[in-house]
Chains A and B, each alone.
Chain A
Amino acid sequence: DTAVSQTPKYLVTQMGNDKSIKCEQNLGHDTMYWYKQDSKKFLKIMFSYNNKELIINETVPNRFSPKSPDKAHLNLHINSLELGDSAVYFCASLPQRGARETQYFGPGTRLLVL
């Protein structure tokens, strides 16, 4: 059973397109995150939701819009894709904010913008 799953695993698209990445966790966790890993392997948080409420919004272009339809899902929609958006995007979940726990990571979505 996959605890945190992401679809698609690979995404190749043209500049200017709009695309979505989906994340689902079956752990019953309250809090979910999106992280971006760039070509130099640097990992940085983008967003976090707690029970469908946005609680962390780092300095990310407006073209990126997270959506949480329920607490088990956190999707990432990207408008007008740019070359610099090419990266690996990781979703993660946490039992609850403030808990003495660790985050569970998904396998990542490798996005390549041509």
Chain B
Amino acid sequence: AQSVTQLDSQVPVFEEAPVELRCNYSSSVSVYLFWYVQYPNQGLQLLLKYLSGSTLVKSINGFEAEFNKSQTSFHLRKPSVHISDTAEYFCAVSDKSFQKLVFGTGTRLLVSP
């Protein structure tokens, strides 16, 4: 079985500041890792994924995450946030067979001017 821990329920940050949203996972098998973003009253959008290969993955809007197997982490970072990044961010893992997604409890990123 897999589990995901997002320790920060809310992260307030000023516009143009850097941010890191933490994600740790637990699994007895190798997994795929994901970050999803949910804007207010909207559905889930895939932000980043690690399936294999390079441990550093990047999105088109400036986010990046690094898979660290030894620390079982997949932290999300952005060097300079915008107001429009305000949203709920979910880290998720899935096994490679049935691929059911197990989600963390989410981190609400609040970007203020």
A positions within 8 Å CB-CB of B: 31, 33, 35, 40-45, 48, 55-56, 90, 92, 94, 97-98, 100-103, 105-108
CB neighbours (8 Å) of A105 from chain B are 36, 43-46
Interface pairs A-B: 9 shortest CB-CB: A43-B103, A107-B43, A105-B44, A45-B100, A108-B43, A100-B51, A41-B106, A102-B49, A56-B100
CB neighbours (8 Å) of B106 from chain A are 41-43
The residue that A42 contacts in the complex, of B38, B46, B51, B105, with Cβ under 8 A, is B105
B positions within 8 Å CB-CB of A: 32, 34, 36, 38, 42-46, 49, 51-52, 88, 90, 92, 96-103, 105-106
Q: Are A41 and B98 in contact (CB under 8 A)?
A: no
A105 to B36, CA, bound (A): 10
Q: Are A45 and B99 in contact (CB under 8 A)?
A: no
How many whole Å from B21's CB to the nearest CB in chain A? 14
CB neighbours (8 Å) of B45 from chain A are 105
The residue that B97 contacts in the complex, of A45, A92, A97, with Cβ under 8 A, is A97
CB neighbours (8 Å) of B101 from chain A are 33, 35, 43, 45, 92, 103
A41 to B104, CA, bound (A): 10
Residue of B nearest to A35 (CB): B101
- A55-B98, A100-B51, A108-B42 are known contacts; what are 8 more A-B pairs with Cβ within 8 Å? A44-B103, A56-B100, A97-B99, A98-B97, A98-B99, A102-B32, A103-B99, A108-B43
CB neighbours (8 Å) of B103 from chain A are 42-44
CB neighbours (8 Å) of A55 from chain B are 98
A-B contact pairs, 18 of them (CB 8 A): A31-B99, A41-B88, A42-B103, A42-B106, A43-B92, A43-B103, A45-B100, A55-B98, A97-B97, A98-B99, A100-B51, A102-B46, A102-B51, A103-B99, A105-B46, A106-B43, A107-B43, A108-B44
CB neighbours (8 Å) of B44 from chain A are 43, 90, 105, 108
A102 to B45, CA, bound (A): 11
A56 to B45, CA, bound (A): 23
